[in-house]
Amino acid sequence: MTERPQSDTPHREAYATILHSANVYVCGAIAAAQSIRLAGSKRDLVILVDETVSDHHRGGLEAAGWKVKTITRIRNPKAERDAYNEWNYSKFRLWQLTEYDKIIFIDADLLILRNIDFLFTMPEITATGNNVTFFNSGVMVIEPCNCTFQLLMDHINEIESYNGGDQGYLNEIFTWWHRIPRHMNFLKHFWFGDEEEIKAKKISLFGADPPVLYVLHYLGLKPWLCFRDYDCNWNVDIMQEFASDVAHATWWKVHDTMPQHLQSFCLLRSKQKAGLEWDRRQAEKANYSDGHWRRNITDPRLNLCFEDFCYWESMLWHWGDPNWSDDNNSTSNP
């Protein structure tokens, strides 16, 4: 009888992530790849992308070490048109990566701070708990199989996801799963009612050197979409539960180890700069007590422009105009 390949055959094991419907997470995926290599893993890196990810951005992903595979998106039939969760069932395509025995799926908005290759010895589904009952699909061990993919596809019209996305759906399918400690998918999030002692403990974990956490998962506004000076979640009232300057700095430390040509995929568009300034002004108007809105911006990306239109300040004159373009999927190349 032929034995199944074990974890000492890295070509049969891979880290995988997925990008669909926008280029905005390309920088995050590049940083995630960098963090995996910095943690010492030599496993394959596989990224699934759809046709909306430009050739230029695919080139950046490949340069970062990702093996880029093009997929056809899978629509969530329960989602509204153009909603954030319209295409998140595309994640099911991971089960079609049958050239691998095991996959560690990671969301593109996290960092691997310590090597998690040992998770390849774990069965499907292995994940951290989102609560007592459900698992979080941001990091999970899966075993690619066309039969499982077909099972997932067979029920998309009948199963109601508790959160409207792939996580709720997968929890309905994989009711038996294997729990791992939350340090292996630690969420950058301060729960309402957290005591100061708990908040201080989380902050110390975010910045520990050497790291204590295995994975730091960046919820809220993403570090590469903020100025590097501070976490821009501070400037939006409903996002402050995700704000941490220490975690923000941890992401930028990884960014700074990337080659210059890969850092160029993290430049800010003019509209993004305008959006950050708009949020800062709203925070100033509301006089938020944290005072981040008072800080001077020294991020060099503020004065770097790779688009035809660079006068982002003038965009603020038209902010809120319904006729103003809101195209987040522009594919201009830095």
Per-residue pLDDT of the chain (334 residues; tens, 9 = 90+): 344 444 455 469 999 999 987 799 999 999 999 999 999 999 999 999 999 999 999 999 999 999 999 999 999 888 888 888 889 999 999 999 999 999 999 999 999 999 999 999 999 999 999 888 999 999 999 999 999 999 999 999 999 888 888 999 999 999 999 999 999 999 999 987 788 999 999 999 999 999 999 999 999 999 999 999 999 999 999 999 999 999 999 999 999 999 999 999 999 999 999 999 999 999 999 999 999 999 999 999 999 999 989 989 988 887 755 444 444 443 334 4
36 secondary structure, DSSP code: H
Contact 247, 231 (CB under 8 A): yes
- What is residue 144's predicted lDDT score, i.e. its pLDDT? 98
Beta strands in the chain (DSSP E): 13-19, 44-49, 67-70, 102-106, 110-112, 126-129, 135-142, 178-180, 186-187, 215-217
CA angle 38, 41, 44 (to 5 degrees): 120
The b-or-e profile of 238-248 (16+ CB within 10 A means b, else e) is ebbebbbbebb
CATH of residue 125's domain is: 3.90.550.10
User: Do both 179 and 207 map to the same domain?
Assistant: no
User: Do both 192 and 174 map to the same domain?
Assistant: no
Residue position matching structure tokens 């990008």 = 19
User: Do both 172 and 217 map to the same domain?
Assistant: no
Q: Give a yes or no: residue 118 inside a domain.
A: yes
User: Do both 180 and 203 map to the same domain?
Assistant: no
116 CB-near residues (< 8 Å, 6+ apart): 39, 41, 104, 139, 184, 214, 215
User: Do both 226 and 274 map to the same domain?
Assistant: yes
In Å, what is the CA distance from 215 to each residue of 45, 74, 114, 129?
A: 16, 28, 7, 14
User: Do both 79 and 91 map to the same domain?
Assistant: yes
User: Do both 226 and 121 map to the same domain?
Assistant: no
150, 184, 218: which is the final residue of a domain? 184
User: Do both 146 and 284 map to the same domain?
Assistant: no
User: Do both 28 and 148 map to the same domain?
Assistant: yes
User: Do both 180 and 44 map to the same domain?
Assistant: yes
User: Do both 76 and 156 map to the same domain?
Assistant: yes
pLDDT tens track for 139-176: 999 999 999 999 999 999 999 888 888 999 999 999 99
Contact 117, 43 (CB under 8 A): yes
pLDDT tens track for 200-216: 999 999 999 999 999 99
Parent domain of 62: 10-184
**Pick from 212, 294, 277, 278: which is nearest to 247 by CA?**
212
| Number of neighbouring beta carbons within 10 Å of residue 223 | 27
Neighbouring-strand partners of residue 180: 128
Q: Read off the tokens for 15.
A: 């880290």
Q: Give a yes or no: residue 1 inside a domain.
A: no
Q: Give a yes or no: residue 310 inside a domain.
A: yes
Q: How far is Cα 209 from Cα 250, in angstroms, rounded to an integer?
A: 10
User: Do both 79 and 107 map to the same domain?
Assistant: yes
**Pick from 197, 214, 190: which is nearest to 127 by CA?**
214
Please give the tally of structural domains in the chain: 2
- What is residue 332's predicted lDDT score, i.e. its pLDDT? 37
Q: Give a yes or no: residue 17 inside a domain.
A: yes
